[in-house]
Amino acid sequence: MQERGKISSILVRLKFSAVMAFDGITSNLLRTFLTVLGISIGVAAVISLMGIGEGARRSIVSQFESLGENVIVIKSNAENVTFEADEAEDLPLRVTGVDYATPVVYTEETPIRWRRDESKMNIVGVNQNYPEIKDHRVVSGNFFTSLHVKQRAPVAVLGYNVAQNLLNGRSPVGQTLKIDGINYRIVGVLAEKGEGKGDGIDDKIVIPYTSAMKISKTKDILEIWAKSPSAEEAELAMVQLGRIYKRKVGVGSNITPGTGEGEAPVEGGGDISVPVEPVPEPVPEPEVPGEDKNVFEKGEEPLTITSLNNLVKEADQANRVMTVLLGGIAAVSLLVGGIGIMNIMLVAVTERTSEIGVRRALGAKQEDLLIQFLLEAVYVSIIGCITGIVIGAWAVSLVASYGLSAVVSFDSIRIAVFVALTSGLLFGVYPAINASNLPPVEALKRQ
């Protein structure tokens, strides 16, 4: 019975302290409004800035992911380092962990004629494995086959935006258009990747690389795309590709994974790559004043092997750091809001000295006053948090309405609320202690 009576007494005192705390913040609405405003601005700033940072992170990561998962790009950075078409086609047979591969040939600003309309467009030349390598499906018609590639057939697969513009949204499959003066039959249309994604493939035309080589009047291939079934096998494939092309080029290549100099051990021991004869060194030409030296003399890498998975990870990490920094900068305003709570409550303690003295004279204990003033700080912080979340969400939606990437993330809300409540509680402790330590006689004298 005594324990039940104590619990009941504690609950009554807590309830009374809570009511008195609520009366305390409503007795001077202007003062409460200014205090809440400081917390609200801080919370809104954290949510909006972290939302913008998170939106930018997701946008950049999605752009990299749109290039395809587990894709390895082998790219020449020097004119004297080129690849053979058969060399790219045979990579799945030579390298463990590579399922598909294609040579890549670019032709920029190629003349295009559709009926009476003429323009210039970027062309990408690949083989029949492009949809599997880039995880890019065909929404209308079909992709060209290996037979088309071997025969240099004049066939084309259109990017989504290109196809939409030709017949106002109707499928152009079966129609013909002229590319560099030659009639090409449209055999398929690629699915939409979205603005800024897939390296702008929606606004390009894809043709067999053999036909692209004919248009560009070159036999040299400067880029190869390879596809692995998983991230782990992509790492293994990059090590083997590094071995192959270090022999081919005769110098180290820029490869991220592996240990030591790129010679990571392979299960089963031994080198499972096929040796390739090194390219003979070019005959040095006389130096022309004002002309750039070749890539070898600059100390640059003549050939790079890049995993798109690594690019996605690096972009994700870099943007997470940026988001945290933005949140940290905005959190300073929460600190200012917390100091505002302390200042306002110190003033409130001075103004309410008589109230404190009467409560102490009527039997209120120090802990009752401590709880009351702490609850006032918590009330102000909670109201400020709710208002700040609403304002922050509105600010994020406003930014998004202008076409920028911005999202309201749960992490930003959680961080903002935690910091706001913590700062409100911490900065409310000192005024609450001052109020609870005020002697009743001294308080009544100041009345």
pLDDT digits (tens, 9 = 90+) for 247-284: 766 654 444 443 333 333 333 333 333 344 444 444 44
Q: Would you place residue 399 in the very low, low, confident or very high pLDDT band (cuts 50, 70, 90)?
A: confident
Q: How many helices, marked H, and strands, marked E, lie in the chain? A: 14, 11
Tell me which H or E stretch contains 128.
Answer: none
Residue 142 is predicted with a pLDDT of 93
C-beta of residue 61 within 8 angstroms of C-beta of residue 334:
no
Please say if the pLDDT value at position 352 is more than 80. Answer: no
Greatest Cα pair distance, the chain, in angstroms, is: 106
The residue ranges of DSSP E strands in 252-334, in sequence order, are 254-255, 303-307
C-beta of residue 42 within 8 angstroms of C-beta of residue 330:
yes
Q: Could you tell me what percent of the chain has a pLDDT over 70?
A: 80
Rounded distance between C-alpha atoms, residue 379 and residue 372, angstroms: 10
Lowest mean pLDDT among 167-181, 213-227, 279-293, 340-354: 279-293
Amino acid in the structure at residue 176: T
Q: Would you place residue 442 in the very low, low, confident or very high pLDDT band (cuts 50, 70, 90)?
A: low
> Bridge partners of 184?
177
Residues present in the chain in total:
447
pLDDT digits (tens, 9 = 90+) for 60-108: 777 766 677 788 888 888 777 888 888 888 888 888 888 999 999 998 8
Q: Would you place residue 285 in the very low, low, confident or very high pLDDT band (cuts 50, 70, 90)?
A: very low
pLDDT digits (tens, 9 = 90+) for 110-135: 999 988 888 989 999 999 999 999 88
Q: Would you place residue 39 in the very low, low, confident or very high pLDDT band (cuts 50, 70, 90)?
A: confident
Spatial CB neighbours of 227, under 8 Å, sequence gap ≥ 6 = 68, 70, 71, 72, 98, 99, 100, 101, 129, 132, 133
Dihedral angle computed from the Cα positions of residues 265, 269, 272 and 278, in that order, rounded to the nearest 10 degrees = 70
Rounded distance between C-alpha atoms, residue 393 and residue 389, angstroms: 6
> Can you spell out the DSSP letters for 187-249?
EEEEPP--TT-GGGGGG-EEEEHHHHHHHHT---B-EEEEE-SSHHHHHHHHHHHHHHHHHHH
pLDDT digits (tens, 9 = 90+) for 295-321: 334 446 778 888 877 777 777 777 777
Residue 218 is predicted with a pLDDT of 83
Rounded distance between C-alpha atoms, residue 427 and residue 376, angstroms: 11
Residue 229 is predicted with a pLDDT of 87
Place of tokens 């390296």: 199
- Average pLDDT, rounded, for the chain: 77
Q: Could you tell me what percent of the chain has a pLDDT over 90?
A: 17
C-beta of residue 420 within 8 angstroms of C-beta of residue 334:
yes
Residue 447 is predicted with a pLDDT of 54
Classify strands 117-126 and 205-208 as parallel, antiparallel or unpaired. Answer: parallel
Rounded distance between C-alpha atoms, residue 107 and residue 274, angstroms: 31
Cα-based angle 370, 373, 376 (whole degrees, multiple of 5): 145
Amino acid in the structure at residue 377: A
pLDDT digits (tens, 9 = 90+) for 163-202: 988 887 788 998 999 998 899 999 999 998 887 777 888 8
Q: What is the CA radius of gyration of the chain?
A: 34
Rounded distance between C-alpha atoms, residue 447 and residue 445, angstroms: 5
Spatial CB neighbours of 297, under 8 Å, sequence gap ≥ 6 = none
